[in-house]
Homo-oligomer: A and B are copies of this chain.
Amino acid sequence: MIEKPQRLLVTVDVVIFTLRENDLNVLLVKRKYEPFINHWAIPGGFVNADESLEDAARRELEEETGVGDVYLEQLYTFGKVERDPRGRVVTVAYFALVPFTAVRGGSDASEARWWPVNDLPTLAFDHTDILAYAIKRLRYKLEYSAVGFQLLPEKFTLTELQQAYEIVLGEKLDKRNFRRKILEANIIEEAGMRREGEGRPARMYRFREDAVAEVKARRLFP
């Protein structure tokens, strides 16, 4: 244990999701350097010795999107020996949810763009695995937590909520089942107003404050 510990390169990679044009999108950057030059990759970079992992992830997120105060959660640490041809690199992966309207465009990479998760290019390194796991985690969390607060306006109808869920989950949901389950999960509450429109005014909802607080607490620490 004590004998000559070896220092390793440590990176953070941030899988940044948004809802855009009725699709779940992920932000990818085109690599300017070898290895995997001109391949698309999850944005990320090396961790500086004087910043925490969380700070490094938030820095990368801000460099790419111009926004910092959004949902960010540590996903998993990937550390297979051969995952990077430059040598041993351990990467701590995060995922972020960003309201599309907040994104101001990146400054760091020469080329960054949103890709629908169902129509992705070939990715650099083991980023296909990392992204697949991020999607799995997001879908899983959506079903039991208020993580969707970042993807919807403050107040919404159950129909709007169902549409957002269907986009993220990539499948149509049965209206009655969806309503029963989402109300049972105790993560939304009535906002005390109705949206006027065609037909009967629709009841508006919002995410419960305590449910959002729980999600936010978890983003900073497990």
Q: A residues touching B (Cβ–Cβ < 8 Å)?
A: 1-2, 5-10, 33, 45-54, 74-77, 79-81, 88, 90, 92, 108, 133, 136-137, 221-222
- Determine which residue in A7, A74, A77, A133 has the highest number of CB atoms from chain B within 10 A of its CB, and name it: A77
Which residues of the other chain, B, contact A46 by a CB distance below 8 angstroms? 1, 5-6
Contacts A1-B108, A8-B9, A74-B76 known; list 5 others, CB within 8 Å. Answer: A6-B46, A10-B10, A51-B81, A76-B222, A133-B221
| Minimum Cβ distance to chain B for residue A112 (Å) | 13
Report whether B79 and A47 are in contact in the complex, using a CB–CB cutoff of 8 Å. yes
The 5 closest A-B pairs by CB, nearest first: A7-B7, A53-B79, A5-B46, A1-B45, A76-B222
For A45, list chain B residues within 8 Å (CB).
1
Q: How many Å lie between the Cα of A42 and that of B183 in the bound state?
A: 41
- Which among B2, B51, B77 is the interface contact of A77 at CB below 8 angstroms? B77
